[in-house]
Homo-oligomer: A and B are copies of this chain.
Amino acid sequence: MGKEQLSRKEREKLRRKEDILWAAQKCFGDKGYHECTMEDIAKENECSVGSLYNFFSGKDHIYKEIFAWHGERMKEFAASFVIDTEDPVGCIGDYILKRLEYGMEHQGFLKMFIRNHNNDNFADESLWKESIWPAKVEMEKVLSEFFRLAVEKKIVRADLDIEMVISMIEHNIFRILDEYFHNFCPDKTREMSLEESRDFMMDVLFNGISCRDKNDK
């Protein structure tokens, strides 16, 4: 990303755009696309409704920009992984933890993401296909490579459909974040760190829940 050809003016404008995106992300995340009004966003950003239109052509433009922004981020995220051929399982653990951390840092977006995944909001196929799908593919390629290595090293069973396993992991990541975000059930004061959640998930995934032959693990 060429950065220094921007004048101060331009940089300021960009920053203000990102402020709006941030505020909007929070609103969309909390309420969903339709329940979130332009006034909500304006209030969250401490500006007037009209101002929003100085930066974006409309509500769905804002919505799409949020996805585009994170699409880029996710691609960078995928590209940032280095493969440690000695320890593919460690890499997988790393990957999962980083995904969880990203989710925690961007709650608003994650909620938008999950909702959109469930086809909600204005069902704009292109939004999904253009911004997020390619990034998702990149990320899954990374996992895929780790698993290829793990199978090669006979750490992971060779008889499984790895794409399925990856899909399970992806959904599990959302499940964990889900449980952090929602508090449907405040009676369970399940205080678990992201690391612990990750470890639990990997324990079950790799070792299974069956007792081992002798006693148990």
Query: Chain B: which residue is nearest A31 at the CB level?
Result: B123
A217 and B159 contacting across the interface, CB-CB below 8 Å: yes
The CA-CA distance from A161 to B201 in the complex, in Å, is: 11
0/1 string, A158-201, CB within 8 A of B gives 1: 11110111011001101100010010100010000000000011
With contact pairs A32-B121, A184-B133 given, residues A208 and B211 touching in the complex (Cβ less than 8 Å): no
Chain A interface, number of residues (Cβ within 8 angstroms)? 50
A122 and B35 contacting across the interface, CB-CB below 8 Å: yes
From B34, B175, B184, B216, give the contact of A168 (CB < 8 A): B175
Decide yes or no whether A114 CB sits under 8 A from chain B.
Answer: yes
Decide yes or no whether A15 CB sits under 8 A from chain B.
Answer: no
Question: Which residues of chain B are near A207, meaning CB under 8 Å?
Answer: 208, 210
Question: Which residues of chain B are near A3, meaning CB under 8 Å?
Answer: none
Decide yes or no whether A156 CB sits under 8 A from chain B.
Answer: yes
With contact pairs A155-B211, A204-B165, A217-B157 given, residues A184 and B128 touching in the complex (Cβ less than 8 Å): yes
Question: Can you spell out 26 A-B residue pairs with CB atoms less than 8 angstroms apart?
Answer: A32-B119, A32-B123, A33-B34, A34-B35, A35-B123, A111-B118, A111-B119, A119-B182, A133-B184, A154-B216, A157-B216, A158-B216, A159-B216, A159-B217, A167-B175, A167-B179, A168-B175, A168-B201, A171-B172, A204-B208, A205-B208, A205-B209, A206-B208, A206-B209, A206-B210, A207-B208
Residues of A within 8 A of B (CB): 31-35, 111, 114-115, 118-123, 128, 133, 154-161, 163-165, 167-168, 171-172, 174-175, 179, 182, 184, 188, 200-201, 203-211, 216-217
Given contacts A31-B123, A156-B210, 9 further A-B contacts (CB under 8 A): A120-B120, A155-B210, A157-B216, A165-B204, A167-B175, A168-B201, A204-B208, A206-B208, A207-B208
